[in-house]
Amino acid sequence: MGEVDIDTYSHYRRAYDRIHGYMPESPGARRAVVGGIVLFISGFMLAKMTALSVLFVGSGSRLVDH
C-alpha cells in the first residue's frame, strides 16, 4: 500500500491544483481519508454551532424584563 504525493505528482497537481497533501493509492484508504476529512469538518461546524447557540441562549437572559 503506497501513497501518492499530490504535491510532487504532476498529474494530481494539474487535476487538483488547490489540494495540498496526499491521497493513498488503495480505494479503501482513500475512502478513509475522505471520511476523516468529512468528520473533521462536521465536528468543527457542530462545535461552532454549539458555541453560538450557547452564546445566544446566554445573551437572551439580558433582554428579558424582570
pTM for the model stands at 0.58
Number of domains in the chain: 1
* Residue 55 is assigned to a structural domain of this protein: yes
* Residue 2 is assigned to a structural domain of this protein: no
Residue 10 has pLDDT above 80, yes or no: no
* Residue 20 is assigned to a structural domain of this protein: no
Domain that includes residue 37, residue range: 25-61
CA distances to 35, 39, 49, 60 from 42, in Å: 10, 5, 10, 27
* Residue 11 is assigned to a structural domain of this protein: no
Reported as a single tens digit per residue, the pLDDT across 20-57 is 566 777 889 889 988 998 999 999 999 999 999 998 88
Count H helices and E strands in the chain, helices first.
2, 2
